[in-house]
Amino acid sequence: MNSHNLGTGPLRLGETAEGSSFTSVLENRGIAPSWRVEGVSTEGIPEATTILAITWADGVLMAGDRRATAGNIIAHRRVRKVYPADEYSAVAISGTAGMAVEMIKLFQTELEHYEKIEGVRLSLEGKANYLARMVRANLTLAFQGLVVVPLFCGFDETDSTGHLYSFDVVGGRYDELSYATTGSGGSEARSFLKAAWQPNIDRNTALSIAVEALVSAAEEDSATGGPDLRRKIYPNILTVTADGVSEVSDEELSEVSARVLEGRP
């Protein structure tokens, strides 16, 4: 291996990473991902819409509808908006879909890299702070219309409690004690949760409330897609507890969605 090639380009076999920040490694090597859209129209770029998170007795539940829109057109009907960040945390995306997915992939890799280098997981608050930094780094593009606003949640092993965090477009990070929403239908979902959420609810209640909040948002916001029983399209929902991240199956969601839709006025 030639010495003048060290420190640039991808890591080579046997080469040691410079520090516990994966993003810093990429930046130091000149291969960090970047987006440039000067003079390019952002019209027609798919937007991920409504996401939410609620606390319940054993942890946190995070949910998102499956629709992405491009202007007034439905661009995709089965977009995944809620992802595991690591074993004990999850993240949901709203805003410019393609950029949001890439941000989450980099966030996942960052957490994995940190754990491998340091030998321990980054603290839950440290993860939230790092995600806030990533949102802030996107500020220039946000001013051009390419906005990414996530939600983040996790189970804190130090206090055995679920926590959730919301963010604003400039990277501000906010601890939420009960629930949080964002996206085009976020205000409608939040209004429903304000009336329906209670402390220490069980898993079944939390699941029903989350699905109905998305249905409530879909009834008022055309960019939000509610459950579609005929096409078998259901919300994307994860729970985070002391046992880790778990995805709610479509089989369970089909029953919950049918019950919620039947009970709507």
Q: What is the pLDDT of residues 195-218, one digit of tens each?
A: 999 999 999 999 999 999 999 999
Instruction: For residue 175, name the pLDDT band (cuts at 50, 70, 90).
Output: very high
**pLDDT score for 138:** 85
Alpha-carbon span 105 to 176, nearest angstrom: 24
Catalytic pick from 23, 49, 50, 96?
A: 49
Predicted model pTM: 0.84
8, part of any domain: no
Question: What's 74's domain CATH number?
Answer: 3.60.20.10
Count of domains observed in the chain: 1
Query: Which carries the bigger pLDDT value, residue 129 or residue 43?
Result: 129
List pLDDT tens digits, range 42-98: 565 667 689 999 999 999 999 999 999 988 889 899 999 999 999 999 999 998 888
| C-alpha distances in Å from residue 101, one per residue of 80, 149, 215 | 9, 11, 24
Alpha-carbon span 10 to 179, nearest angstrom: 41
**Long-range pairs, 119-122, Cβ under 8 A, ≥24:** 121/86, 121/87, 121/88
- Is residue 224 flagged as an active site residue? no
10, part of any domain: no
91, part of any domain: yes
1, part of any domain: no
50, part of any domain: yes
Instruction: For residue 3, name the pLDDT band (cuts at 50, 70, 90).
Output: very low
227, part of any domain: yes
Amino acid occupying residue 113 = H
Alpha-carbon span 110 to 137, nearest angstrom: 15
4, part of any domain: no
26, part of any domain: no
Tell me: pLDDT of 15 over 90: no
What b/e string do you get for 17-35 counting C-beta neighbours within 10 Å, with b at 16 or more?
eeebbbbebbeebeeeeee
Q: Which residues pair with 162 in a beta bridge?
A: 155
Tokens of 29: 């090597």
Range of the domain at 221: 43-263
Burial classification of residue 78, based on how many CB atoms lie within 10 Å of its CB (0-12 exposed, 13-18 middle, 19 or more buried): middle
